[in-house]
Structure 1
Amino acid sequence: MKPTFTLLVGLLLLSLTGCFATREARIESDYSYSGTFKRYRTYEFMRGQGLASDSSRLGEALRDAVRNRLRAQGYRPATTRPDLLINFQVFEGDMRFRGYMQEDLERWVKMGVVEDDETPDEYKRGYKPVRMLLSEGTLLVTLIDNHTNRAVWNGYASGVTVPNGPRGEIVLRRSVRSIFDQYRVFTEGYVGGGN
């Protein structure tokens, strides 16, 4: 009876260790008060170095996941003069990151306020920086206003480990879905059936 009890305790400890070893990705986002989110309708991916130019299955799976999510929110791809440029990057290792403590993006967009250079200082929100330590493997998605060349939204998932093969594609798609759960901005008129 004692060996059975020891075996059960050992299996229980092993299963608990597995639970503690797997960690949930930390999902955060922040935005620019100068973003004209109600105006954005089209997008295009930036081209360049690293994963943004990655034509592998993982790079394409990531772009496809972003396309599907934006399509579901009423955005259309555009190769000429898109409203938003999309950049993404995967960082390996732990990293220090500066984010901002802000109210929910949906509430900000509903208020219809956009800050610009002409907004009086007493009416500006001001950014409250927050220093974060992001865990091993961070996927960062940035939306850039193509007309002002300013980043208007960052969404990131830290603690993302992307294995090789089809399982890596699944991890990236889930990470993109979780990140864009923070960006619940639909194009104007889309939810009401306008598009």
Structure 2
Amino acid sequence: MKLSVPLWLALALALSGCFASREARIESDYSYSGNFRRYRTYEFVTGTGVSADTSKVGEVLRDAIRTRMKIQGYRPARNRPDLLVIFRVFEGTMAFRGYAQEDLTRWVDNGAVEDENTPKDERKGYEPIRMVLAEGTLLITLVDNRTNRAVWNGYASGVTVPPGPQGEVILRRSVRSIFDQYHIFTEGYLRGNEGESSQN
């Protein structure tokens, strides 16, 4: 799927209209080749587009993502991060292909990771689902930096935000709702935090 949308157009449309959080549709899907237990660090993709934008909208989205990644134990790293983070804002209604999958946490808990050595008859297989996403979609993608493959997509559709402080609240809430679909903490992070809190 091509993700390129002119930055000015995406932001102009994202900042128009109104928003009702109860109407937002939150979905996610993941790659069976994602080695989610291995990931510890991340960095935002640089270049063109909203991910590299220095406007208020880009900063709000980056800050909201940083906050959530920190809560889940991920550390920012400029040098060889495990995950690359991409986020995009799409205008209008769009057709999108997702996948019917078991819960990501259950998949990770089973410890299975598919790669080129996994026999074809043992591979999970993807069951595509065609969806129509409502006006205004925020998409967050995590890419495995080693394989250069997307391993997780989370998206909120039906998201349009007004300018000003209310818009910032809506963007942060949307990021939080999307990451509620990615309940993966870095390995040992929760145990480490429990140990710290017991010492206080």
TM (normalized to structure 2)?
Answer: 0.85
Match in the other structure for 2:188: 189
Match in the other structure for 1:9: none
Matched, 1:61 2:68: no
Match in the other structure for 1:130: 129
Q: 5+ unaligned residues in a row in structure 2: which ranges? A: 1-18
How many angstroms does 1:48 deviate by?
2.0
How does 1:159-178 map onto structure 2 within 5 Å? 159-178=158-177
1:162 & 1:51 partners in 2: Cα distance? 16
Code of the residue aligned with 1:28 in structure 2: it is E
Match in the other structure for 2:48: 49
Q: Number of residue pairs matched?
A: 175
2:160 & 2:74 partners in 1: Cα distance? 29
How many angstroms does 1:189 deviate by?
0.2
1:167 & 1:34 partners in 2: Cα distance? 38
Q: Secondary structure at the match of 1:116?
A: coil
Runs of 4+ in 1 over 3 A off after TM superposition: none
How many angstroms does 1:118 deviate by?
0.6
Code of the residue aligned with 1:44 in structure 2: it is E
1:162 & 1:144 partners in 2: Cα distance? 27
Match in the other structure for 1:16: none
How many angstroms does 1:129 deviate by?
0.1
Q: Secondary structure at the match of 2:154?
A: strand
Match in the other structure for 1:71: 70
1:129 & 1:34 partners in 2: Cα distance? 17
2:127 & 2:59 partners in 1: Cα distance? 35
1:97 & 1:26 partners in 2: Cα distance? 13
Q: Secondary structure at the match of 2:36?
A: coil
Code of the residue aligned with 1:177 in structure 2: it is R
2:95 & 2:48 partners in 1: Cα distance? 22
2:190 & 2:105 partners in 1: Cα distance? 14
TM (normalized to structure 1)?
Answer: 0.87
Q: 5+ unaligned residues in a row in structure 1: which ranges? A: 1-20
Code of the residue aligned with 1:182 in structure 2: it is Q
Q: Look at both structures and tell me which one has the larger radius of gyration over its CA atoms.
A: 1
Code of the residue aligned with 1:81 in structure 2: it is R
Match in the other structure for 1:8: none
Code of the residue aligned with 1:122 in structure 2: it is D
Q: Which moved more, 1:46-55 or 1:74-83?
A: 46-55
Match in the other structure for 1:115: 114
Match in the other structure for 1:156: 155
Q: Secondary structure at the match of 1:193?
A: helix
